[in-house]
Amino acid sequence: MTVADTVQKATARLAEGPHSERARLDAEALLLYLLGANRAWLIANGDDEIGEESASRYAELVERRYRGEPIQYITGETEFYGLPFRVTPDVLIPRPETEHLVEQAIALARELAEPRIVEVGAGSGAIAVALAVHLADARITTIDVSPGALAVARENAARNAVSEQVRFLAGDLLEPVAGEEFDLVVSNPPYVADRDRESLSVEVREHEPAQALFAGEDGLGVYRRLIPAGYAALAPGGSMLLEIGYGQAESVRALLAGSGFEGIYFVPDLQGIARVACGRRKSAAPVVK
């Protein structure tokens, strides 16, 4: 079969699956990944024949995608904040929405000299690495309970040449940095309610790590523990930034206010949905002479 015929056959197969709207794009992306080629090659070589071994391997990749496996896990690659990242089933696939969290953290950190930043939930390292790349003077710590996730995060830090700038720690929430003080606490924690599990797409529900997705019956379980811990870890005047889910803004506002945060505000995504919650620890009281 020719390259064009092979892609057409794969497109037809994927059009029967759960992501039919992406069938052609996915079919092309999988073949380009397999052959190590680019889109220009695909256009110029549509009449070339596909070898039997390559065709067999390609069919296996197409079937994995047909069953709902995320294409990023199949290829092991994704992009976040304009940077390349390796991803595996040990980590969530970085979402474009999380770039709003990174943008806000960068904006706040640039007001500080040598900002001290701690991230809770390293995952693929997307947030910590993006911050390190754009904040050369920052000292960044990232924490995760998953050894597999930390291994991927370290690999991505090396890939983006920021290994010396990021410290990786294993542990629950902020326990590994007890007694330390930071200017920013940043996190994209699990926030999907257990009751919403069936509403997720197959590729998320069946393939991405559950411990990085779900946070109790109402989705607020991690926030209830993380927010007061974050307040305690911040220097006076420091800020906490949290990615939040749809409809969670007022609940998270109450949790932030209840832990002592002031100046609480939200950053919307491109659809106008509150996506990032920000709060500031009260500054130290002025000394009266």
The full DSSP string for 149-212 is: HHHHHHHHHHHTT-GGGEEEEESSTTGGGTT--EEEEEE----B-GGGGGGS-HHHHTTS-GGG
DSSP 112: S
The answer to whether the CB of 209 falls within 8 A of the CB of 145 is no
Strands 139-144 and 116-120: parallel
Give the residue from 149, 127, 118, 274 showing the smallest Cα distance to 211.
149
The answer to whether the CB of 161 falls within 8 A of the CB of 217 is no
Long-range pairs for 99-102: beta carbons < 8 A, 24 or more residues apart: 99/130, 100/243, 100/267, 100/268, 100/269, 100/275, 100/276, 101/127, 101/186, 101/188, 101/241, 101/242, 101/243, 101/267, 101/275, 101/276, 102/127, 102/130, 102/131, 102/134
CB neighbour class for 28 (10 Å; exposed up to 12, middle 13-18, buried from 19)? middle
Residue 47 confidence (pLDDT)? 84
The answer to whether the CB of 66 falls within 8 A of the CB of 17 is yes
Q: How many CA atoms lie within 13 A of 58 on its CB side?
A: 28
pTM summary value: 0.89
Give the integer Cα–Cα distance in Å for 3 and 39. 12
Residue 138 confidence (pLDDT)? 96
Residue 288 confidence (pLDDT)? 46
For the chain, 289 residues long, give each residue's pLDDT as a single digit of tens. Answer: 888 889 999 999 999 887 788 899 999 999 999 988 888 888 887 788 888 888 999 999 999 999 889 999 999 999 999 999 999 999 999 999 999 999 999 999 999 999 999 999 999 999 999 999 999 999 999 999 999 999 999 999 999 999 999 999 999 999 999 999 999 999 999 988 888 887 888 778 878 888 888 888 898 999 999 999 999 999 999 999 999 999 999 999 999 999 999 999 999 998 999 999 999 998 865 444 4
Measured CA angle at 212 (ends 108, 109), to 5 deg = 10
Strands 234-243 and 274-280: antiparallel
Give the residue from 97, 126, 93, 102 showing the smallest Cα distance to 272.
97
Q: How many CA atoms lie within 13 A of 30 on its CB side?
A: 31
Q: How many CA atoms lie within 13 A of 186 on its CB side?
A: 31
